[in-house]
């Protein structure tokens, strides 16, 4: 068994005043704001001029959907971030042979297509993506946008029934089980970008088990996350993760899914129990702009 070990960093409580922290107390999640009709109208109006000037911005999802997925916390001028942020991730996955242009890829928490458009537009030495991409999300509006903007032959999307305060989806208890409607042993790579940063233990364990069930033998998961053993650059200012809910450390008890962090030991335990044979934490090229990745193989 190859589970790499890590030395946990000490978690020092944040001290003193921070404007960022004060704002986050009032608005723990920018995502929630994007469901407000007035906020939506204003941020989408700000997109009209850039779309006129730059043709490459015209195929992007509306600004409120981009803001909902994070885009470096930029409310304006996030177009280039949306277009380029997945590049390091896919370069890593392809160069490590975790996927290629013919793979079946499952993306959990697929949002408004930031990871998918890279595959749709992939073209290297005349080879385009001829595999299958499956996106899962709880955001019905984002799924509808993706269904209209990606070809159904290669891209399909499913709506997860999990509840989330931050993503405006009411539902059953947060530990409810969601079975991904895809066949066992058919997927080469399961990815998620900044999904584990928004789910509590029940959903996390659900998705790790589902990932294992759906993967082919030799297939891998790559799940980015907030890891308390490798605290993000925002730790101590925007993030403190001061509340515990089981193994999850959260920023806000009112909106626990707004920002969630875990320890490596817990993540490895869940993956080991699901059946994964190797597990490590890897760091993307591109440095601190990327969260660490939980990389495990079946």
Q: Which residues are near ligand SAM by CB under 6 A?
A: 69-70, 108-111, 114-115, 136-139, 142, 160, 162, 164, 167, 193-195, 198-199, 203
Contact 158, 181 (CB under 8 A): yes
CA distances from 114 to 29, 70, 274 (A): 19, 11, 28
Least Å from the CB of residue 117 to ligand SAM: 10
Please state, in angstroms and rounded to a whole number, the distance separating the CA atoms of residues 190 and 273.
17
Least Å from the CB of residue 143 to ligand SAM: 9
Closer Cβ to ligand SAM, 290 or 298, answer by number: 290
Q: DSSP code of 164?
A: B
Closer Cβ to ligand SAM, 13 or 287, answer by number: 287
Closer Cβ to ligand SAM, 160 or 264, answer by number: 160
Max distance between CA atoms of the chain, in angstroms, equals 55
Please state, in angstroms and rounded to a whole number, the distance separating the CA atoms of residues 114 and 193.
10
Main-chain dihedrals φ then ψ at residue 293, nearest 5 degrees: -115, 135
Main-chain dihedrals φ then ψ at residue 235, nearest 5 degrees: -70, 130
Closer Cβ to ligand SAM, 69 or 279, answer by number: 69
Least Å from the CB of residue 235 to ligand SAM: 18
Least Å from the CB of residue 176 to ligand SAM: 9
Range list of β-strands (E), 1-148: 2-3, 104-108, 123-124, 127-128, 132-137
Closer Cβ to ligand SAM, 141 or 229, answer by number: 141
Least Å from the CB of residue 101 to ligand SAM: 21
């Amino acid at each position: 068994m190859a589970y790499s070990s890590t030395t946990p960093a000490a978690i020092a409580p944040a001290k003193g005043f921070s404007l960022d922290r004060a704002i986050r107390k009032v608005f723990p999640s920018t995502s929630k704001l994007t469901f407000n009709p007035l906020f939506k109208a204003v941020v989408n109006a700000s997109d009209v001029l850039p779309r006129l000037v730059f043709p490459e911005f015209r195929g992007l999802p509306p600004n409120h959907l981009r803001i909902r997925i994070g885009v470096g916390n930029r409310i304006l001028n996030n177009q280039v971030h949306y277009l380029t942020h997945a590049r390091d991730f896919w370069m890593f996955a392809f160069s490590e042979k975790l996927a290629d242009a013919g793979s079946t890829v499952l993306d959990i928490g697929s949002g408004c297509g930031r990871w998918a458009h890279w595959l749709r537009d992939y073209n290297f030495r005349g080879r385009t993506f001829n595999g299958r991409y499956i996106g899962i999300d709880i955001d019905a509006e984002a799924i509808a946008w993706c269904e209209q903007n990606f070809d159904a032959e290669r891209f399909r999307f499913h709506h997860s029934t999990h509840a989330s305060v931050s993503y405006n989806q009411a539902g059953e208890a947060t530990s409810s089980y969601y079975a991904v409607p895809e066949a066992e042993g058919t997927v080469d790579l399961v990815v998620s970008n900044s999904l584990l940063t928004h789910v509590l233990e029940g959903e996390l364990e659900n998705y790790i088990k589902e990932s294992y069930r759906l993967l082919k033998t030799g297939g891998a998961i790559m799940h980015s996350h907030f890891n308390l053993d490798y605290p993000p650059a925002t730790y101590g200012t925007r993030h403190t993760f001061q509340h515990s809910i089981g193994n999850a450390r959260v920023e806000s008890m009112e909106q626990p899914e707004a920002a969630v962090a875990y320890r490596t030991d817990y993540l490895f335990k869940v993956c080991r129990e699901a059946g994964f044979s190797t597990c490590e934490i890897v760091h993307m090229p591109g440095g601190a702009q990327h969260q660490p990745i939980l990389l495990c193989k079946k």
